[in-house]
Amino acid sequence: MPIHSLSNNLAIEPSQLYVADIAKMRDFYTKSVGLDILESNATRVLLGHRQTGIIELLAKPSLAHAGPRTAGLFHNAVLFSTRSGLSRAAGEVITQNPHAFSGTGDHLVSEAFYFNDPEGNGLELYFDRPQESWQWNDGRVVMDTLYIDPLGYIQQHASVDKSHTAKLGHVHLRIGDIDTARNFYVKLLGFDITAELPGALFVSVGGYHHHIGLNTWMSLGAGKRTPSLGLGDVTLELDTSSDVSTLAARVEAAKYPFTYANGALHLADPWGNTLTFIGK
């Protein structure tokens, strides 16, 4: 358990992606994944669903691609409110970009399809099972990774109903080591640990299975990131501005580097993944 409570609730604002080919990336997320263009200009495209922002593409063609064993993004995870919404999106990506598909997972709390976008950023599309069905043991949620037959799932849940909603459900990061992640995300920031697996830590606010995933599966021992394509800023919305100022005071007391201006707290984790905390 964290020493300090972060907030009662948390929402994740659109995840930033620094991209080399903004037109190609826009087409993938709109034509295959089915996201809408909410705002657009030559260097920025905000993608989402029904006015809810999910991913923000920022053109950074001068940056190089990050190596597969560096810290950074493991995947952005788009949460669908219905199985039919998930199956439709997953089916479109598999049909239009079969090479992008990387697997499925029944995690007991959720059902997920995994992909890689045209620039190699991980993407999870998933549906949460009803929260009352989740099992908890000693404060940890029971999760697993069981096989889902992708075509069978899509066929079973195919529907003409398009009333689903979608949002950014969680962000999963590559990091260098778990103990340092626990000290930063749990002891300093105040996230709750919801699950621990070999080489992975899952943390959340308010009893969700995880808002942030952290793993060393490919990045064990990774140092601080250098500017590169991939993950930009991750913005987390807390309940109130008071929650943010309380967190800022705690970070300052710990002598951890940060900036705090106009109600927003900006800092980077030990691997240079940048986080912004704002209040509602």
pLDDT at 177 over 60: yes
pLDDT at 90 over 80: yes
- 271: helix, coil or strand? coil
Residue 212's nearest CA partner among 221, 200, 223 is 200
If one counts the domains in the chain, the total is: 1
CB 154 within 8 A of CB 85: no
Q: Cα angle vertex 233, ends 49, 170, to 5°? A: 50
- The CATH number of whichever domain residue 33 belongs to comes to 3.10.180.10
Boundaries of domain holding 142 = 10-61+68-279
What local confidence, expressed as pLDDT, does residue 119 receive? 98
pLDDT at 185 over 80: yes
Mean residue pLDDT of the chain comes to: 96
Domain assignment of residue 251, yes or no: yes
Domain assignment of residue 262, yes or no: yes
What local confidence, expressed as pLDDT, does residue 4 receive? 66
pLDDT band at 126; cut points 50, 70, 90: very high
Domain assignment of residue 3, yes or no: no
- 122 φψ region: left (φ > 0), alpha (ψ -120 to 50), beta (else): beta
Domain assignment of residue 211, yes or no: yes
Domain assignment of residue 4, yes or no: no
CA dist., res. 57 & res. 153, Å (int): 30
pLDDT band at 68; cut points 50, 70, 90: confident
Provide, rounded to the nearest whole percent, the portion of the chain with pLDDT above 70. 99
Residue 175's nearest CA partner among 122, 121, 219, 226 is 219
pLDDT at 259 over 50: yes
Domain assignment of residue 34, yes or no: yes
154: its two tokens? 């899509």
Instruction: Encode pLDDT of 194-226 as tens digits.
Output: 999 999 999 999 999 999 999 999 999 999 999
The whole model's pTM is what?
0.96
- 184 φψ region: left (φ > 0), alpha (ψ -120 to 50), beta (else): alpha
pLDDT band at 42; cut points 50, 70, 90: very high
pLDDT band at 5; cut points 50, 70, 90: confident
pLDDT band at 162; cut points 50, 70, 90: confident
What local confidence, expressed as pLDDT, does residue 3 receive? 57
Domain assignment of residue 193, yes or no: yes
Domain assignment of residue 2, yes or no: no
Between 100 and 161, residue with greater pLDDT:
100
Provide, rounded to the nearest whole percent, the portion of the chain with pLDDT above 90. 94
In terms of DSSP H, where are the helices of 157-231?
178-181
